[in-house]
């Protein structure tokens, strides 16, 4: 009986009409479920290099390698040493911590809309020069021209007003500052997304399709993600969590692997 219910849940999750609603509500549930779990410090789909050397990490960071590699590929395009950096939608805080520790940002601030996540991040990661606050990506609680770089990883697809978010990025960046940005869209949504970026008043320096790297990252990380699902989710909810995590064979992993969804990386600059 349980197996039948689980199979039915999997069938329902393959319907595009329920995908967005499930994703948003599962994100809220996930933050409650993993509230104080130090096992989960990243929520992105990850990245595996193809034909290039992997990033060098300390042994303690190896369990999160796939997730960290996405951050590294996006944010290492510019030298952040001694810079003031803002991450919008910082989630579980691992990315901001990586930027502070490995890329030597002077001041690293993460902003997220979920108070539970912010509380966890300050407790788990907070240190001098690294902190987290609550805020809306479309109304950033940050002074104008106060940041050398803004980071946004796999989050803007969930915003109700992407042009407003981009205008906020432009507002808080200092002249010459950089927007280090990556996210995904369904293939039919890509032209409108590109138009939003082109009309933002910011200049695109680099634009790279990393869809295959993300699909490979999801496949490479499947064993790790399945173990987390077993640890965190009750049996009946495990199909939901596996879809959300993008394990190999899931709807999202297959969409990336077949090109039905595109994952894009950008290096964008506010002109001086």
pLDDT of residue 30: 63
Alpha carbons 246 and 229: distance in angstroms, whole number: 11
pLDDT of residue 238: 87
Residue 209 forms part of a structural domain: yes
The number of folded domains in the chain is 1
Residue 23 forms part of a structural domain: no
pLDDT of residue 127: 97
The closest alpha carbon to 179, from 90, 47, 67, 78, belongs to 78
Residue 69 forms part of a structural domain: yes
pLDDT of residue 22: 53
The token duo for 7 is: 């199979």
Residue 4 forms part of a structural domain: no
Residue 11 forms part of a structural domain: no
Q: Which residues, in sequence order, are bridge partners of residue 209?
A: 264
pLDDT of residue 29: 66
- Residue ranges making up the domain that contains 194: 35-230+258-269
Q: Could you tell me the CA-to-CA distances from 48 to 15, 116, 180, 192, 210 in Å, in that order?
A: 28, 30, 18, 27, 10
What does the angle CA 184 – CA 190 – CA 196 come to, to the nearest 5 degrees? Answer: 100
pLDDT of residue 230: 87
For residues 180 and 86, the answer to whether their CB atoms sit within 8 Å is: no
Enter the pTM of the model. Answer: 0.88
Residues of the chain predicted below pLDDT 70: 1-37
pLDDT of residue 4: 39
Residue 215 forms part of a structural domain: yes
Q: What CATH code is carried by the domain that includes residue 100?
A: 3.40.50.150
pLDDT of residue 11: 43
pLDDT of residue 15: 41
Residue 2 forms part of a structural domain: no
Residue 21 forms part of a structural domain: no
């Amino acid at each position: 009986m349980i197996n039948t219910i689980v199979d039915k849940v999997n069938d329902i999750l393959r319907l595009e009409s329920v995908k967005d609603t499930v994703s948003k509500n599962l994100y809220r549930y996930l933050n409650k479920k993993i509230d104080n779990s130090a096992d989960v410090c990243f929520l992105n789909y990850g990245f595996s290099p193809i034909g290039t050397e992997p990033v060098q990490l300390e042994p303690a960071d190896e369990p999160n390698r796939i997730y960290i590699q996405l951050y590294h590929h996006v944010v290492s395009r510019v030298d952040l040493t001694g810079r003031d950096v803002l991450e919008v939608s910082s989630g579980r805080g691992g990315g901001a911590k990586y930027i502070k520790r490995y890329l030597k940002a002077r001041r690293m601030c993460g902003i997220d809309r979920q108070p539970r996540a912010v509380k966890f991040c300050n407790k788990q990661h907070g240190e001098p020069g690294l902190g987290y606050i609550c805020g809306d990506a479309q109304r950033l609680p940050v002074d104008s021209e106060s940041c050398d770089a803004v980071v946004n990883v796999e989050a803007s697809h969930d915003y109700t007003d992407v042009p407003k978010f981009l205008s906020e990025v432009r507002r808080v960046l200092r002249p010459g500052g950089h927007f280090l940005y990556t996210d995904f869209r369904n293939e039919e949504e890509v032209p409108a997304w590109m138009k939003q970026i082109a009309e933002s008043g910011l200049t695109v320096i680099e634009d790279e399709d990393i869809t295959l790297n993300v699909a490979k990252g999801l496949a490479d990380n499947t064993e790790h993600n399945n173990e987390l699902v077993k640890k965190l989710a009750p049996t009946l909810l495990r199909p939901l969590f596996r879809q959300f995590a993008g394990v190999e064979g899931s709807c999202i992993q297959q969409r990336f692997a077949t090109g039905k969804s595109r994952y894009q990386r950008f290096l964008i600059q506010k002109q001086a």
